[in-house]
């Protein structure tokens, strides 16, 4: 088997990438000696053009801060990637670069495992590529939501504990609190949280962010981003290896 297949991830400051270890373990488990996975740490998205010239490249993961900036460099988009305007998975086949959003798949799986009927309205913290995938899933399930970010009408300055109390589902989509800055935490009215709340923090490193710990103290049910990450990784694998044109 000398049919080389090359995969990788593009992002910025991503030496901690989950994906490299995840896929290298997978290659080992499946005894796939012809697969490799590289980390491409790009200072600017334009550098991706050089990456695309790599021989044997069949696909890429895309992470912060390039999920939206990658779009002009692609030939095609899947339906959900086009609607969301963010891509985290690229399939390269017959010289065509097609973007997908498997964050949708991963988040949907996570939500369905943890959600109860009374989690019927949501706050989405952050407004980047991951938040857009979350919005897509909440729309699919007719769960009304409000976005809280620095530049939205509802923001971290004016959000109140009453608004938090009224929205039992909260999805934390900002990178605040990610390793190595594990002590960082959004300025947030945690006193509005109760044991009826479900808090999903999309961060997976550390396992328990400062945000999740604070929410737990209020009795809220919490979940981190690890399961979502595994699920989207498996979906990426399926796209790279079994996607029909």
User: CA 55, CA 171: separation in Å to the nearest integer?
Assistant: 39
> Catalytic: which of 21, 53, 67, 196?
67
Distances (CA, A) of 220 to 129, 165, 173, 217: 26, 11, 17, 7
> Among 109, 90, 106, which Cα is nearest to 98's?
90
User: Which letter does DSSP use for residue 207 in this model?
Assistant: S
- Residues in CB range of 242: below 8 A, 6 or more apart: none
* Cα–Cα nearest to 52, from 34, 38, 73, 32: 73
Known catalytic membership, residue 67: yes
For residue 215, give the nearest of 232, 235, 194 by alpha carbon.
Answer: 194
Q: Is the Cα torsion angle 42, 44, 49, 52 positive or negative in sign?
A: positive
Per-position DSSP letters for 50-89, written without gaps between them: HHHTSTTEEEEEE-TT-TTTTGGG-SEE-HHHHHHT--SE
Going by their DSSP bridges, the two strands 57-62 and 35-41 should be labelled as unpaired
DSSP-derived pairing of the beta strands 96-100 and 89-93: antiparallel
Residues that are catalytic: 67
């Amino acid at each position: 088997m000398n049919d080389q297949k090359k995969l990788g991830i593009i992002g910025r400051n991503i030496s901690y990438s989950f994906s490299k270890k995840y896929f290298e373990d997978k290659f080992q488990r499946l005894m796939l000696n012809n697969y490799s996975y590289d980390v491409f740490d790009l200072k600017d998205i334009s550098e991706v053009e050089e990456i695309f010239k790599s021989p044997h490249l069949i696909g890429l993961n895309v992470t912060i801060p390039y999920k939206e900036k990658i779009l002009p460099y692609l030939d095609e988009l899947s339906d959900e990637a086009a609607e969301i305007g963010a891509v985290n998975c690229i399939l390269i086949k017959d010289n065509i670069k097609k973007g997908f959003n498997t964050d949708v798949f991963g988040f949907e799986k996570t939500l369905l495992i943890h959600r109860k009927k009374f989690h019927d309205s949501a706050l989405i913290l952050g407004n980047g590529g991951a938040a857009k995938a979350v919005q897509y899933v909440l729309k699919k399930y007719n769960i009304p939501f409000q976005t809280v970010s620095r530049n939205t009408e509802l923001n971290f300055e004016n959000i109140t504990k009453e608004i938090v109390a009224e929205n039992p589902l909260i999805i934390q989509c900002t990178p605040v609190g990610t390793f190595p800055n594990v002590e960082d935490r959004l300025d947030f009215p945690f006193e509005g949280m109760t044991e009826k709340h479900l808090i999903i923090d999309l961060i997976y490193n550390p396992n328990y962010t400062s945000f999740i710990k604070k929410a737990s103290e209020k009795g809220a049910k919490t979940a981190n981003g690890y399961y979502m990450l595994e699920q989207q990784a498996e979906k990426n694998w399926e796209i790279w290896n079994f996607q029909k044109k």
